[in-house]
Amino acid sequence: MNTHESRNPSAWRSRTVGAAAVAALLVGGGAGAAAWASQPASAAHTTAASNAATVQRLADVEEIRQVKARYFRYLDSKQWSKLAALFTAHPTIDVGAKYSSGKELAEKTAALLGDAPTAHQGFLPEIQVHGNRATATWAMEDYVSFPPGSSYKNGFHGYGQYHDTYQRINGHWYISSTVLSRFRVDTVPNWTPSPAQK
């Protein structure tokens, strides 16, 4: 201890406290590092398994999002066979009318709409994955018009939700049920094709 420190007890005390704090950090850090290094292999395996499960769940959620995005795109682009292929063999389908298969949905929707333009959107999905099954709720908006001569005198602009279930089959996700509930429906004019479209 130098002469100045012996005359200034508070400076000496400060250096002592500081040295003790550094020692505590070194000892604590060493103990923490030793504890980390000595983690049992089972804990590391559990962490790896948890990470792998999270990655798989995120991949499943993304694939389900893609399936539903194709559902909307195939409806509006009138790719009926591709729409039908998005469903399991025996789905539950209730979109204002009930259908027993993706093929029936596609064929009857094609006959109903003809070439009339439509616009379907799904967004804000809440998706939960449970192994090879999943559930989802989608906010939706659709604009549907019917062709000339349709039994429907007006089209509609609707807002609501899809309530879906999905099933993974041979590594791919399919829609196993879809139920549409609309909260609001506004009427819009039906499609009147231009002379070039007739």
Give the model's pLDDT for residue 197: 62
Mean pLDDT, range 98-102, rounded to an integer: 98
Q: Which of 84, 185, 173, 182 is nearest to 135 (CA)?
A: 173
> Mean pLDDT over all residues of the chain?
85
111-168 pLDDT, tens per residue? 999 999 999 999 999 999 999 999 999 999 999 999 999 999 999 999 999 999 999 9
33-46 pLDDT, tens per residue? 444 355 566 777 78
